[in-house]
Amino acid sequence: MTSEETSLTSKEELNAELKALLRRAYEGGIDVEGGFECRNGVEHPDWDVIVTEVKKNEQSE
């Protein structure tokens, strides 16, 4: 997300953005499974993100 984009205001919006990001990365040939450190400088907290592939269920989109 860049500073020009609209802020997210709900978990549903966050999930939609994460889904779109992961799809773009996957389609671009990036192995998205694993751990990612998100260091954000002094103004924001840092996060550790773990991505794992899960088995699709019958109701998956």
Instruction: Indicate the pTM of the whole model.
Output: 0.75
Contact 37, 54 (CB under 8 A): no
Q: Give the span between the Cα atoms of 51 and 8, in whole angstroms.
A: 21
> Residue 27: what are its φ and ψ, rounded to 5°?
-65, -25
Write the burial class of residue 27 (CB in 10 Å: 0-12 exposed, 13-18 middle, 19+ buried): exposed
* Per-residue pLDDT tens over the stretch 31-52: 999 999 999 999 999 999 999 9
Q: Give the span between the Cα atoms of 34 and 50, in whole angstroms.
A: 6
Domain assignments of the chain as residue spans, ordered by start: 11-24+32-51
Regarding predicted confidence, which is higher, 39 or 61?
39
